[in-house]
Structure 1
């Protein structure tokens, strides 16, 4: 990314950090611990969705491979080996972790996959996979490890079975399945403090969030999360959406000049549009889920969206995710939250100008993202930081191509409107995108997407439970 397009630094609790510059690192971390403890204790979201029981790992348990990606505060690297060690007690791992309430330590969610994917889907809107061929063997092989919940007779025995399975299947056809996310080594002291809280917040949300288009956290470092060597164990993603747009662009150029004449390969171009609409729809489903849980993501951008081994799109990096709380709501009905949060290219005018805002800031960002997916370009690519005054103060937006389906063209413009009241919610966005997909294909995978995903989830859960039962015998 060019220097004039660098993302604005993450602002998580920036005001609190800057107002306490005189604090030592340990004092600052103690404040963060209290912040996390208070956040969970007063949270409607975490009360409704207590954290799943996941394995814990020591750094010595993991063999780290090549670097996969670099973020603002963290590096993500592949895990090439995972050494299995018996998990004796979950609670003992957190005996000194004040952010865990006593009544939450032994919580187990007892619900199967089919129940979970129905969360927030009252209008039949549900993520499904990208339109990519996958054999049933691939589906079963990849999904049977680590269920979403532990419904066996012994929680710790179940977790040990999962750790053992992860250890034995860490590599899949000479390719790693998992990745580690940890703080960069070359951060400044100030950046490190931001990063510690950022990663701890992400761990909190990923332990409770369940959606097929949101990355799965498979485990974390042992002990408390407010520390410099904390890490997450995640599913490995293969490339981000910005790279996928390059691939789509190459396909478009190849097929739009088919034999240099005849107007291109219309079948291939139609499939390309369908693929892009599918990704956009899947992402809208993920944001609909988050918003229905009372959360705001605040960091929508190409670089925070990736693709897994199956080609399914996944949203990741939840360091800026925040729950909307009553005490932050102002008289205008909006919320007082940190200004200039996220990346400049996708930032809504109200966030950039330090005004109150709500979940519709995510809708604006999604509008920019949707334009990029459909235009196969980066928005405001040549803009310097000072040029964004045209966006925030004068309403400038990139031109919307006439080649984009008409209803989606209108949707893009509604999403990035300066007027918050003109922006649609994600329920409407997802319904419109799903309608565009139906116009592009009569595939039963699209027409019956909800049934397709539910059946796939049930199959996945059944296979995993069958695997664990074998391990007990």
Structure 2
């Protein structure tokens, strides 16, 4: 009991006193472009009190303590939560570990590891299932990214269920997943669980992240947000695993592809492929629109994503952008609101990835929805510049020049086509120093949609949700009539 109490106190002290050293270690790694590493900079806001830990700790048993920690974190998440009160968890199929047959390693982050799901059910065989029990294989040069689908986009069907459909029959959903684990010969699902080699505060952070991620995703349905399809084990248990839609590639991979394509289409200065460049521009603008739509939906639920970056955006088999990795997602609750400011909440600072982190988060000031808008502005620039923002900055230089000095990425109006001034003005408004000057995602989506309409001669994505829904329903019908 005393050991558990000391561990809680040590986490709080580390989060409050190590900010300076973090800047020159972890943050310099992120700024060097390795991308996937991120740590919850302050666990204090979401960590149970010492009294809670004493009351719930029964034996000095790691498994029990992990389960207690996850349970208490979920209780804290639900305490005073309008989101949880108004949104009941969907029916999520539960699988035994023996029913989960893991395939290839796909990628890893600081806390989690992702594998493709080779099969589901009692007759999955014994191909790769041992990888869920033994030591995790190394991840050569993965940098936390999802492995690209080398076969390109599949013309096969979407996973069962429309994004807004409430199907409360877990057995029906489970049967479908067991019958259709593949799409076009490739696994349609991925499994995410915490790394087995984590210890101490890193393990505790991972347990809290995965438990909270499951709690959020079980209540969220949107075509541009990865969908939770099933679980294995209970939060905090060694077997706890999330079964998610498998994405073909991350935005990091996609930006590299776009950059190669841009070079090919502009290599002849006097004979540029204008039609191809226009198509490439449209594709990137649509991806940015889909990401903004996902964030608009989260904000409508009073949820702040807090870790927007290319490694946390992916593309499904249709090429539609999806937001994933909700370990740092946080509900902005009324009791955390700072007086006299409608968008300033008490929340842990230095949370997320420094390159995309808003100045107020980096300074450990109260912050709100505008923090995600800042991150989007930096990401929006990267999508069109096809460059990593602040690529050569050290952490200390980033602090001095960006966080304190107000420096932002350079102008790329020459990369933004005929509407360059409008789009660049949108970027600049998103990364404004004053959070109150940044637009909402409702405004961001409206602005991008207007640009897409002009490019499409008035036939822009005014009803993109219904379009994606219609595609999903067609996919479902196709499968069910086979």
**Superposition RMSD in Å:** 2.8
Q: Is the 8 A contact 2:98 2:122 kept in 1?
A: no
**Secondary structure of 1:342 counterpart:** coil
Residue 369 of structure 1 aligns with which residue?
379
Q: How does 1:141-152 map to 2 (within 5 A)?
A: 141-144=157-160, 149=165
* CA distance in 2 between partners of 1:12 and 1:211 (Å): 29
What's the TM-score, normalizing by structure 1? 0.80
CA offsets, 1:187-244, max 9 Å, x none?
Answer: 122211110110000000000001100001100113x312232110001012110110
Instruction: Name the CA shift for 1:147/1:350 in 2 (closer, same or farther; >3 Å).
Output: closer
C-alpha displacement at 1:149, in angstroms?
Answer: 4.6
Alpha-carbon shift at residue 142 of structure 1 (Å): 2.2
1:49-68 C-alpha deviation (Å, 9 max, x unpaired): 11001100122111111111
What is the 5 A alignment of 1:278-289? 278-289=286-297
More relative contact order in 1 or in 2 (CA 8 Å, sep 6+)? 1
Any gaps of 5 or more consecutive residues in structure 1?
Answer: 86-132
2:352 match: secondary structure: coil
Q: Is the 8 A contact 1:215 1:316 kept in 2?
A: yes
Indicate which of 241, 260, 274 corresponds to 1:231.
241
Is 1:170 aligned with 2:181? yes
Matched pairs, number: 409
Is 1:294 the counterpart of 2:317? The answer is no
SS of 2:106's partner is strand
Moved more, 268-277 or 306-315: 306-315
Q: Is the aligned partner of 1:357 residue 2:395?
A: no
- Deviations along 1:393-425, whole A, 9 cap, x unmatched? 000111021222221100111111111111010
2:281 to 236, 261, 273: 273
Deviations 1:110-150 (A, max 9, x none): xxxxxxxxxxxxxxxxxxxxxxx989x73xx3244688655
Query: Deviations for 1:290-319, whole angstroms, at most 9, x for unmatched residues?
Result: 001111110001100111111111100001
Contact 1:147 1:461 in 2 (8 A): no
TM-score by structure 2 length? 0.78
Task: Tell me which of 29, 34, 44 is aligned to 2:72.
Answer: 34
Q: What is the aligned counterpart of 2:108 among 70, 73, 83?
A: 70
Poorly superposed stretches of 4+, deviation over 6 Å = none
Q: Secondary structure at the match of 1:280?
A: helix
User: 1:331 — aligned with what?
Assistant: 339
Deviation at 1:273, TM superposition (A): 0.6
Give the distance between the partners of 2:170 and 2:178, measured in 1 at CA: 12
121, 133, 149: which one aligns with 1:83: 121
Give the secondary structure class of the aligned counterpart of 2:424: helix
Give, in angstroms, the shift of residue 459 of structure 1: 3.9
Aligned to 2:81: 43
Mapped to 1, the partners of 2:472 and 2:178 lie a distance apart of 23
Relative to structure 1, the CA distance from residue 8 to residue 206 in structure 2 (aligned partners, 3 Å threshold; closer, same or farther) is closer
Matched residue, 1:206: 217
1:146–1:162 CA contact under 8 A, matched in 2 = no
The 1:298–1:267 alpha-carbon spacing in structure 2 relative to 1, beyond 3 Å, is same
Contact 2:120/2:181 (CA < 8 Å) preserved in 1? yes
Aligned counterpart, 1:114? none
Q: Which runs of 5+ in 2 are unaligned?
A: 1-26, 124-151
Equivalent residue number for residue 18 of structure 2: none
